[in-house]
Amino acid sequence: MRLHREGTPTLLLVTAIVCFGLFALLKWPVLPAFLSIILCFVLVAVLLIVVWFFRVPSRSLPKDDLAIYAPCDGKVVVIEEVLEPEYFKDKRRQVSIFMSPLNVHINYHPIGGTTTYYKYHPGKYLVAWHPKSSTENERSTVVNRHPKFGEVLFRQIAGALARRICTYASEGKPATQGAEFGFIKFGSRVDLFLPLDAVVGVTIGQTVVGAETVIARFKH
């Protein structure tokens, strides 16, 4: 299993803490044996969870110009028509995906084309499912322009646990559908803002897989 480069500092820190904790429990047994054994298992479990969090899955995306793919793993929590105030400043179809700490946290370009807009916003750390998290939390906004079907906006949003958003997209650079454009650490949300005539193919509560599940399709 390959691990994501964003996990290197966290993994080194957690590994050091776990190793020191195991060494201390075995070298200086001040607790009853059964408590020491339980704590050893807890420390190892924490390390395994962190390793699992930074896993990089192997995914093969079929090219489909009409498809708008999921930008991340998670559960669909919002599908509604809204006014998008930052870039489009008009009505769009919003689809929001909540990422739990156990999901893969890599973010993928939902469409191909060119990145026409990127902006980072500092902000709060409300829980990711809070209605105001999309406009008040720390977030990064990216817009890709498809050469035929127009623009799609997608926004990485920090949550109560997610305190670092990594975005690799930049304005004027090519965007490859299904390629990695960012990473969010420890639980978060990604919003998609689609044209109103895009045909949404997911439902509230549905579990989606980044770069595999088709969220919507452009109209011909």
Q: What is the rounded average pLDDT of the residues 75-89? A: 94
pLDDT at 104 over 60: yes
What pLDDT sits at residue 133? 60
Question: What total number of domains does the chain contain?
Answer: 2
| Lateral strand order in the sheet of 165-167 | 106-108, 180-184, 165-167
The token duo for 116 is: 């026409």
Kindly state whether residues 102 and 23 are assigned to the same domain. no
| pLDDT, tens digit (0-9, with 9 covering 90-100), for 48-73 | 988 888 888 888 777 788 999 999 99
Residue 138 lies in domain: 67-217
Asked which of 33-47, 76-90, 202-216 is least confident by mean pLDDT, the reply is 33-47
The token duo for 58 is: 């192997």
Q: What is the pTM of this model?
A: 0.86
Kindly state whether residues 52 and 71 are assigned to the same domain. no
Helix (H, G, I), strand (E, B) or coil at 134: helix
Name the nearest CA neighbour of 176 among 86, 114, 219, 91: 114
Q: What does the alpha-carbon distance between residue 36 and residue 33 come to, in Å, rounded to a whole number?
A: 5
In a domain, 164, yes or no: yes
pLDDT at 196 over 70: yes
What pLDDT sits at residue 161? 60
Per-residue confidence band for 34, with pLDDT thresholds at 50, 70 and 90: confident
Query: What's the CA angle centered on 202, arms 84 and 174, to 5 degrees?
Result: 60
Kindly state whether residues 110 and 172 are assigned to the same domain. yes
CATH classification of the domain holding 129: 2.70.70
Active-site position among 96, 133, 134, 188: 188
Name the nearest CA neighbour of 135 among 196, 84, 97, 71: 84
Asked which of 15-19, 56-60, 208-212 is least confident by mean pLDDT, the reply is 56-60
Q: What does the alpha-carbon distance between residue 58 and residue 49 come to, in Å, rounded to a whole number?
A: 19
Kindly state whether residues 81 and 39 are assigned to the same domain. no
Q: What does the alpha-carbon distance between residue 218 and residue 220 come to, in Å, rounded to a whole number?
A: 6
What pLDDT sits at residue 163? 59
Which residues pair with residue 113 across a beta bridge? Answer: 175
What pLDDT sits at residue 10? 85
Per-residue confidence band for 208, with pLDDT thresholds at 50, 70 and 90: very high
Examine the residue annotation and report whether 188 is marked as an active-site residue of this protein.
Answer: yes
Q: What does the alpha-carbon distance between residue 109 and residue 156 come to, in Å, rounded to a whole number?
A: 12
Kindly state whether residues 89 and 7 are assigned to the same domain. no
Which residues pair with residue 189 across a beta bridge? Answer: 98, 157
The token duo for 170 is: 């930049």
Kindly state whether residues 149 and 180 are assigned to the same domain. yes
